[in-house]
Structure 1
Amino acid sequence: MALTTSNMSILQKQSATGPMMPSIGTEETEHMAYNIEETQDIPYAAWLDSIPGFGRSRCYQLVETAGSARNAYEMPDSDIAFLLGAKALAVWQQHRKLKEPNALYETYLHQGISYVYYKSKEYPQKLQNIPDPPFGIYYKGSLPDSAYPAVAMIGARRYSDYGRSMAELFARRFGQAGITVISGMAMGIDGISQRAAINAGGISYGVLGCGADVIYPESNSRLYYDLIEKGGILSEYQPATPPRAGLFPQRNRIISALADVVLVVEARHKSGTLITVDMALEQGKEVYVIPGRCTDQLSLGCNQLLRQGALAATSPEDIMKDMGWQQEVLTTEPVKRRQISELAQHILAVLDVLPCTSEDIVSALAGRQYGYSVPQIYKGITELELAGLAKRSSGLLRKTEL
């Protein structure tokens, strides 16, 4: 087969040593990346990333051989066949007939979707050093800034009141302290954590196991749009990719990679959450766990991780202190509390950790210690609800996000 002169030595070397993978983060690679005309190269990278069945390894192989995505696109068919084989060449030729790089990229931009690939300056730095970095990232909103500390908060989809309360407490504190919360926008602990972080004025990013334009689960549609405004939605899968079970484990490595530490809020003994933990450990990340009661099924996975050497987080400050992160908090909570009665403040203190029934609050506050009557306590509960500081759900009164 005929080979181009510019690629011959590289192809001969690759034939002898096997497929080349990028050495991301080295000075040589960075120098090469910055010499590329990115505005012209990005559409070609997005085109490569959209080839059905190619996968990131083949995309890496082509770009590392050619030097840029555009050069890869312009390689002769004989070089493509030499590198990838006749079957891959047929797929390549068919894709070139169906899609033109600039037109495809314009379609993404019209949908509000941006794209970066591993040679882009904007490619998240924290992804550069993991064993299997994504070739490219599709995103809505913005990309995480590596200059800011980040925590990946993960846990069970079916959660307990304790798990919900802990997720809200930790995420709210992180949001107030300017610590980015990374998660998967899933039902349960993921979504609860991200909602609490942005409600506290923080930044959060959702990494999806589907296309960045696909809202999954649909019940988190409001969170999806809020994340775009106050962080971003990221995916390595091309737009319109539906959620499939096999895509989520791969997605999890990006969640852990974008964070400095991983925090497990709740997890059963054999939880999918533990997949993310394994990936975090492979990436050299610290793993923290919120301890739970020994008899709680939703804490068995957490407690097992503690036995295996994970770090216990009994408060957000545990993580912040260990990591040397700033611990100042800007919050409007004290102002709100001054605007309610002393009784309402006492009720709010009862609700600080777990949601309660009205009877639980009466038991805690009625009697000699406080001297409140039952009618007074119910009046205080109503005061909190009217002030928007507490809400009732499934017969329980819970503290709202401040």
Structure 2
Amino acid sequence: MAGVDDELGGWLRLLLTPGVGRDTARRLLATFGSAQAVFDASPAARAACVGPAQRDALGAEPDGWRAQCDAAAAWLASDGERRIVTLGDALYPAALLHTPDPPLLLFLHGRVERLARDALAIVGSRHPTPQGRDNARAFAAHFSRAGWCVVSGLAAGIDGAAHEGALDGDGGTIAVLGTGIDRIYPARHRTLTHRIAHDGLLVSEFPLGTPPLPPNFPQRNRVIAALARGTLVVEAALQSGSLITARLAAESGREVFAIPGSIHSPLSRGCHALIKQGAKLVETADDVLAEFGAPRPPAATTGATPAAGADPLLDALGHDPATLDALCARTGWSAAALAARLLELELDGHVQRLPGGLYQRRERA
């Protein structure tokens, strides 16, 4: 076979055979012992394990299989930090192996040793508030400085911020993709993807070239949940893929954490729903680490937001978004004076201007 050896070619063929899902593939592997042995077996032997349609599909070469083998060989040869590991490989992560639905194989690019670290997942909205993005980045950096690897899905918003924060510490980050590992999605994360490939680890179970298809992202979420000892939801609406990840984590016996937010924010409702269902409410990254008996990392060297009382306007703003009119009523200041001071606080990174004429305080996690 061109490109890859027969055994890897067998795994890729099993992955691409139409009508043969992961459950059936695992049953075939348990019966015949290896991917190649599945295809070396007689049709009658395969018929004892699967139905007629699947038996016939296994007897025919899948469309695009040889091209996928050639692409895999070229992908592996182009960088020494690239690997394809299968269910039978010693490098296959044990955390995934012992789940009900492990991927047949994983495409890996980067530092494979990240898979051996204790990990925490951080997930959330693709359209977070500025405070939510800050929280994701700060929590991830804190976990990473404590030696924990941060797992997320490389999506826009909370995921991207979590990966960025985690790259600031020794724990690093794992990005689980909903596309082929050779595709960058979203495109805005091109630089971040390259950073993760160099200092973290990219993971995908999908064949090379797989585009961002909607059904793939819930599949990706189960891998995120399985790789981590706990999942933290930073911001999420009630109808959110992040809640799927949290549910999968809970069903697998992992811890679920959620950061509460304003009762007026739609992006707090998913977190509040999780807390009502038993997720642990957390206010600091150390709240999460304490659940695992982990030591606190060294203090960060970044500056802190002024404490309450340090600025009367921040005190008046509180922790929920507010309009200029509301702040005028609370402070007695003129609109002009307020606008000038809000601009100063915004430039200093302490206040964020939101759509609809709202202002929100920004704080470090």
TM-score range, shorter chain: 0.7 to 0.9
Q: What is the aligned partner in structure 2 of residue 75 from structure 1?
A: 41
1:58 aligns with 2:14: no
Residue 282 of structure 2 corresponds to residue 313 of structure 1? yes
- The residue number in structure 2 matching 1:217 is 186
Between the aligned partners of 2:26 and 2:350, the Cα distance in structure 1 is: 52
* Cα offset, 1:191, TM superposition: 0.9
Task: Determine the C-alpha separation between the residues in 2 that align with 1:242 and 1:102.
Answer: 18
Residues 69 and 127 of structure 1: is their aligned pair in 2 closer, same or farther, counting only changes over 3 Å? same
Q: Secondary structure at the match of 1:92?
A: helix
Q: Distance in 1 between matches of 2:243 and 2:19?
A: 28
Which residue is equivalent to 1:3? none
1:172: Cα distance to partner?
1.5
Alpha-carbon distance, 1:187 to partner: 0.8
CA drift at 1:66: 0.9
Distance 2:163 2:26 in 1: 33
1:92 shift after superposition: 2.9
Deviates more, 1:107-116 or 1:207-216: 107-116
Correspondence for 1:125: 94
Equivalent residue letter for 1:281:
A
What per-residue deviation string (whole Å, max 9, x for no partner) do you get for residues 224-265 of structure 1? 111111111111111111111111112111101000000010
**Mapping 1:3-402, distance limit 5 Å:** 41-95=7-61, 99=65, 105-110=72-77, 112=79, 113-143=82-112, 145=114, 147-200=116-169, 202-329=171-298, 331-333=300-302
Q: Residue 144 of structure 1: CA displacement?
A: 5.8
The unaligned stretches of length 5 or more in structure 1 are: 1-38, 338-345, 360-374, 385-389
Q: How many matched pairs? A: 330
SS in 2 for 1:206: strand
Contact 1:48–1:69 under 8 Å retained in 2: yes
Looking at structure 1, the residues matched to 165 and 279 of structure 2 have their Cα atoms a distance apart, in angstroms, of 24
Say if 1:87 and 1:378 are closer, same or farther in 2 by CA, change over 3 A.
Answer: closer
Partner secondary structure for residue 83 of structure 1:
coil
Structure-1 separation of matches of 2:247 and 2:99: 13
Q: CA–CA distance in 1 between the matches of 2:249 and 2:109? A: 25
Q: Which amino acid aligns with 1:78?
A: A
CA apart distance, 1:87: 3.2
- Tell me the percent identity: 31
Query: 1:56 touches 1:135 (CA, 8 Å); kept in 2?
Result: yes
Q: Secondary structure at the match of 1:84?
A: coil
Any idea what SS the aligned residue of 2:121 has? strand
1:302 aligned partner, one-letter code: C
One-letter amino acid matched to 2:22 = R
**Alpha carbons of structure 1 residues 196 and 249: separation in structure 2 relative to 1, 3 Å:** same
Conserved 8 A contact 1:205-1:231: yes
1:171-201, Cα deviation, whole Å (9 max, x unpaired): 1211222211101100111111111211345
CA-based RMSD of the aligned residues comes to 3.7
1:372 corresponds in structure 2 to none
- Range that drifts further, 54-63 or 80-89: 80-89
Secondary structure at the aligned position of 2:175 is classed as strand
Q: Is the 8 A contact 1:144 1:231 kept in 2?
A: no
Deviations 1:71-106 (A, max 9, x none): 223222332344334433443333279746975652
Q: Following TM superposition, by how much is the alpha carbon of 1:108 offset from its aligned partner in structure 2, in angstroms?
A: 3.9
- Report the TM-score, using the length of structure 1 for normalisation: 0.71
Write the letter of the residue equivalent to 2:288: I
Alpha-carbon distance, 1:161 to partner: 1.9
CA distance in 2, matches of 1:270, 1:380: 34
Q: In structure 1, what is the Cα distance between the partners aligned to 2:168 and 2:284?
A: 19
The answer for unaligned runs of 5 or more in structure 2 is 305-309, 325-339
Q: CA deviation at 1:143?
A: 3.5
Q: Counterpart in 1 of 2:335?
A: none
> Compared with structure 1, are the counterparts of its residues 60 and 215 closer, same or farther at alpha carbon in structure 2 (3 Å cutoff)?
same
Larger Rg: 1
TM-score (norm 2): 0.77
Question: In structure 2, what residue type is equivalent to 1:216?
Answer: Y
